[in-house]
Chain A
Amino acid sequence: MMVYDKNIYKPLKAKLIEVIEESPLIKTFVLIPEHEFSFKTGQFIELSVDGIGEAPFTPSSSPQITDRLEVTVMKTGYVTEYMHNLKPGAYMGIRGPYGRGYPVESFFGKEVLILGGGCGLAPIRSLLYALEHIKDNLEKVILCYGSKTPSDCIYKPLFARLNSIEKFEAYRTVDKAEEGWNESVGVATKLLDKVKVNIEKSIAVVCGPPVMMKFGTLRILEMGYKDEQIYLSMEKNMSCGLGKCGHCMMGEYFVCKDGPVFTYDELKNTPDIWK
Chain B
Amino acid sequence: MSENTKLTIEDLKKIRFLEGYTEEQLKIILQMCTMKEFKVKDILFEQYDELKDVAILLEGTLSLGISLAHEKRIHLGTIDEGQLFSWSAVFSPYISTAWVMAITPAKVISIDARKLNKEIEKDCDFGFKTMAKIAQTISHRLSDTRFQLMNQLIL
A contact residues vs B (CB 8 Å cutoff): 148, 173, 175, 177, 182, 184-187, 189-190, 193-194, 196, 209-212, 215, 218-219
Contacts and interface: CB of A to CB of B under 8 A. Distances in A.
B146 interface: yes
B147 interface: yes
Given A184-B61, A193-B140, A215 B82 contact: no
Q: Which 7 pairs from chain A and chain B are nearest by CB? A: A186-B77, A215-B147, A185-B78, A187-B147, A211-B150, A187-B144, A185-B77
Contacts of A175: 148, 151
9 contacts: A175-B151, A186-B77, A187-B148, A190-B77, A190-B80, A194-B80, A196-B16, A215-B146, A219-B140
Interface string B116-155: 0000000000000000000000001001101110110011
Contact of B104 (A173, A182, A186): A182
Given A182-B103, A193-B83, A211 B151 contact: yes
Contact of A215 (B75, B76, B143, B154): B143
B63 interface: yes
Given A175-B148, A215-B146, A186 B78 contact: yes
Interface string B12-39: 0000100000000000000000000000
A238 B63 CA distance: 41
B151 A187 contact: yes
B80 A189 contact: no
Contact of A212 (B82, B103, B147): B147
B40 to A, nearest CB: 10
B42 interface: no
Given A189-B143, A189-B144, A184 B78 contact: yes
Contacts, number: 60
A185 B75 contact: yes
Interface of B: 16, 61, 63, 75-78, 80-83, 103-104, 140, 143-144, 146-148, 150-151, 154-155
Contacts of A148: 151, 155
A82 to B, nearest CB: 23
B147 A211 contact: yes
A215 B143 CA distance: 8
Contacts of A209: 151, 155
Contacts of B61: 182, 184
Contacts of B80: 184, 190, 193-194
Contacts of A184: 61, 77-78, 80
A65 B81 CA distance: 39
Contacts of B147: 187, 189, 211-212, 215
Given A185-B77, A209-B155, 12 more contacts: A148-B151, A185-B63, A186-B144, A187-B147, A187-B148, A189-B143, A194-B81, A209-B151, A211-B147, A211-B154, A215-B147, A219-B143
Contacts of B154: 210-211
A56 B96 CA distance: 48
A147 to B, nearest CB: 11
Contacts of A185: 63, 75-78
A189 B93 CA distance: 29
B73 to A, nearest CB: 12
A177 B83 contact: no
Contacts of A193: 80, 82-83, 140
B59 to A, nearest CB: 13
Contacts of B148: 175, 186-187
Contacts of B83: 193-194
Contacts of A186: 76-78, 144, 148
